[in-house]
Structure 1
Amino acid sequence: MWNIQPIPQYPVINGSVTLSLGIEELIFTASWYKGPNATTPYYILAYYPGPSPITIPGPLYNTRNFIVFSNGSLHIRDLQITDGGNYIAKILAVTQEDKINVTLTVYEPVTKPEITASITQPRENNMFTLTCDTSRATITWTRRGTSISSETQLSENNRTLIFPSVQREDSGEYKCEAQNLVIKEFSEPYTVTVAYGPDKAVIEGPAYVRPGSSITLTCSADSFPPPEYQWKVNDTVLEEKTNKYDTSNAEIEDQGIYTCVVRNPVTLRTATAFVYVTAEFIHEVNENSIGLGLGLAFAIILGVVLIIGSFCLYRKFVKKRRNESSENREEPIPIYENFTAAQPQEDFSYMAEQPQGDSSYMAEQPQEDSSYMEAQPEEESSYMAEQPQEDSSYMEAQPQEDSSYMVSRENVNSCSVLQS
């Protein structure tokens, strides 16, 4: 069965195509029509091969566009969209005669796509769109190195990529791909940079001013594009416009509140940070001072150990003396017993010196004594009964002292005899 095959399969504007007849046998005539039927109004040409080929043009023939080959195939040059449509071929060959047709489609070539943005510098949390400009093609969006955020949306024909609330994470390189049945084209990468911030500002640096030395404070905040900086000291605006504040020869008067104001020129947002810097003298630490400090610490520790040791020895000594004193108090002191034993001789001598006086005294008050004795016999008896042990212990407690007292008394008596 005969058929017509377009070569190439997907012809494009300004290109060419051959409507090839797949007939291997010898043909006598080949007539071509473009339209709904094979009638004169749609007649293009008739071709008669042989030793002297003949081409008879029809109403639609155009020498600039149409060429017929020796096998009866029709070649069309400089294609336009209007060249597309239904083509009919009437073939008379050696063995048969047939009429066949084919529908030709002329495709527009894909122009190189180009991306345009709704705004050059999108701001975070605002709406933002990218549009792929091309012709009659299926469009696909890609992002270099990663996928496109799931929060994005696409227009009906995929030509526009929509960011309802663009975020800093959406920054990057984007491409759009345009493709039809004929060709595929890619756009140049478009770089999206989302403006954001500044976020929280931070000041880094020492919190003291050392007179005579330098001080450096650094202010930072996450922001794009890079922010503008302004410094204040105790509400006095400084000339510094960078993120660093330097003072080469600080004075005590330089202490106070240092404020850094960060401003984004695109988002117009600001962030502020401050730090209180105080005046402070810092002594340098060297090896000698370290050694002196260690020696002093060792001396203090040694002194504490000696004090604790001395206190322990003192307590042990006091406890020992107390124990010895307790033992000494338990030994009897026999002083009062000897004193009592020595008294009779003294009393006898006294009686010997005054015998008559005592006798007359006794003779004058015999009844009084007797009545007194009779009146208080029980009291004396009870009294004696109540304190027998006390007298005995008292008498037994001082034997040694009485003995010495007796010796001294004997010596006195001896001295008296010698004198007499």
Structure 2
Amino acid sequence: LNIKHGDSVMVWGCWTTCCNRWNQEFCCLPDNPEGEYPAILRVGENVTFSVNPLIAIEAGTWQFENNILVFWYPGDIMVGNGYEGRVSFNQTSLQLSLHSLQTNDSGVYILQSVKPSVQAQVSLSVQGEFTHTHTHTHTFTSDVLSCEVTGPVDSVYWMKDGVILFSNNKTSFSNQNKTLSISQLALSDDGNYQCVATNIVSNMTSVTYHLTVNYGPWNVTISGPAIAQTGDRVRLNCSALSQPPSDYSWYYNGTKVAEGAVYETASLTLNRSEEYVCTAHNNITGINSSATWNLTVIASPLQSSVLLMAFLVLVLTALTQCL
């Protein structure tokens, strides 16, 4: 008995009962030494069962799990209930075709006739496709990814950035590899994760899940001039290593004066040599970190000249009074 699907042919099974035809023993021998294993097809495919070697059977049946698929006799063919439109049969070649396979089509198919006395059978396994989705549980120190699979699965493995993951002191697998646990999260764990589920007829890779490792703020830094002249407006920039990016607040003399990474002072006066504080806040990690900036204000050249002239006037006035 041959099974055909697509362009390939798999020889399967043999007559289980020999018959005497024209005083000769008529038996087939199994052409496939691995005949004890069922033929495997996917859901939605078509399959054709054919007889090899071909013999003439005037009346017989194709059966599946005690249900008659086809019954034929000279001049007529009858299709069993529930198989109308799914089964086609050639009475000359004895080929039986079954269309749009479903998982419940898995089982043993039997060709049987009384005259001549023939019985042959073949096993068919229809494997369904599977789907999967991601779920995950995240903390700041660990992460758990789960691969939810629907359908028959032989194995599951995980990849990060296209490279297969193996268990180590940080990475472990459970639930038949469907759950990936990562402990002691580090920046190197940031990346694209996928689970791959396979069965004997197909494999499927999940959509990419990007694991973002949140951290910081670290290394808060203020940049800007350390010395400015009276009348200047100074721009200070604050930055930090942080994921997600931090929010920034500026403080002067303990009072919040601005928000944002960039702060521009008001016009400076001579008595404004002071300290500015930038605080970075990560709203995911909840961490605050600060840096300070000391700005020294000096008189501008024009103001220095005016002050010098005023000083000289005062000195001359004092000398005149003394004389």
* Superposition TM-score, scaled by structure 2 size: 0.70
| Partner residue in 2 for 1:144 | 161
CA distance in 1, matches of 2:287, 2:279: 11
Per-residue displacement from partner, 1:362-386 (whole Å, max 9, x unpaired)?
xxxxxxxxxxxxxxxxxxxxxxxxx
1:75 to 97, 107, 113: 97
| Partner residue in 2 for 1:63 | 84
| Partner residue in 2 for 1:153 | 172
Structure 1 gaps of 5+ residues are 36-40, 285-420
1:259 to 277, 284, 308: 277
CA shift for structure 1 position 42: 5.4
**Structure of higher RCO (CA pairs closer than 8 Å, 6+ residues apart):** 2
- Aligned-pair identity in percent equals 25
CA distance in 2, matches of 1:148, 1:254: 59
Equivalent residues in 2 for 1:388-403, closer than 5 Å: none
Are the equivalent residues in 1 in contact too, given 2:217–2:287 (CA < 8 A)?
yes
Q: Does 1:87 align with 2:109?
A: yes
CA shift for structure 1 position 223: 0.6
Per-residue displacement from partner, 1:276-319 (whole Å, max 9, x unpaired)?
222335879xxxxxxxxxxxxxxxxxxxxxxxxxxxxxxxxxxx
CA shift for structure 1 position 227: 0.9
CA shift for structure 1 position 55: 2.6
Question: Whose strand proportion is higher, 1 or 2?
Answer: 2
Are the equivalent residues in 1 in contact too, given 2:230–2:300 (CA < 8 A)?
no
CA distance in 2, matches of 1:63, 1:243: 73
| Partner residue in 1 for 2:32 | none
Q: 3-state SS of the aligned residue for 1:46? A: strand
CA shift for structure 1 position 204: 1.9
Are the equivalent residues in 2 in contact too, given 1:123–1:196 (CA < 8 A)?
no
CA distance in 1, matches of 2:224, 2:260: 15
CA distance in 2, matches of 1:146, 1:103: 38
CA distance in 1, matches of 2:4, 2:82: 19
| Partner residue in 1 for 2:146 | 131
Are the equivalent residues in 1 in contact too, given 2:157–2:164 (CA < 8 A)?
no
Are the equivalent residues in 2 in contact too, given 1:153–1:161 (CA < 8 A)?
yes
Q: Does 1:235 align with 2:254?
A: yes
Q: Does 1:103 align with 2:120?
A: no
Q: 1:279 to 1:222 in 2, by over 3 A?
A: same
CA shift for structure 1 position 147: 6.0
CA shift for structure 1 position 196: 1.2
Q: Does 1:224 align with 2:243?
A: yes
| Partner residue in 1 for 2:229 | 210
Q: 3-state SS of the aligned residue for 2:104? A: helix
CA shift for structure 1 position 222: 0.6
Equivalent residues in 2 for 1:158-177, closer than 5 Å: 158-177=177-196
Q: 1:158 to 1:147 in 2, by over 3 A?
A: closer
CA distance in 1, matches of 2:58, 2:148: 51
Q: Give 2:94's aligned amino acid.
A: G
Q: 3-state SS of the aligned residue for 1:169? A: helix
CA distance in 1, matches of 2:106, 2:164: 40
Root-mean-square deviation over aligned CA pairs: 3.1
Q: 3-state SS of the aligned residue for 1:31? A: strand
Are the equivalent residues in 2 in contact too, given 1:229–1:263 (CA < 8 A)?
yes
CA distance in 2, matches of 1:283, 1:266: 48
CA distance in 2, matches of 1:132, 1:22: 45
CA distance in 2, matches of 1:4, 1:145: 41
| Partner residue in 2 for 1:383 | none
CA shift for structure 1 position 271: 0.5
Per-residue displacement from partner, 1:186-231 (whole Å, max 9, x unpaired)?
3322222222111131222222232222322221111111111111
Instruction: Give runs of ≥4 in structure 1 deviating > 6 Å.
Output: none
Are the equivalent residues in 1 in contact too, given 2:268–2:297 (CA < 8 A)?
no
Are the equivalent residues in 2 in contact too, given 1:209–1:251 (CA < 8 A)?
no
Are the equivalent residues in 1 in contact too, given 2:275–2:292 (CA < 8 A)?
yes
Are the equivalent residues in 1 in contact too, given 2:157–2:165 (CA < 8 A)?
no
Equivalent residues in 2 for 1:114-129, closer than 5 Å: 114-118=133-137, 122-125=138-141, 127-129=142-144
CA shift for structure 1 position 73: 2.2
| Partner residue in 2 for 1:295 | none
Question: Whose helix proportion is higher, 1 or 2?
Answer: 1
| Partner residue in 2 for 1:346 | none
More deviation, 7-16/74-83: 7-16
CA distance in 1, matches of 2:232, 2:246: 29
CA shift for structure 1 position 262: 0.9
CA distance in 1, matches of 2:73, 2:94: 8
Per-residue displacement from partner, 1:237-256 (whole Å, max 9, x unpaired)?
21x11112222632223211
Q: 1:123 to 1:203 in 2, by over 3 A?
A: farther
| Partner residue in 2 for 1:272 | 290
* Superposition TM-score, scaled by structure 1 size: 0.55
Are the equivalent residues in 2 in contact too, given 1:176–1:187 (CA < 8 A)?
yes
Equivalent residues in 2 for 1:261-410, closer than 5 Å: 261-280=279-298
Are the equivalent residues in 2 in contact too, given 1:129–1:160 (CA < 8 A)?
yes
CA distance in 2, matches of 1:178, 1:145: 15
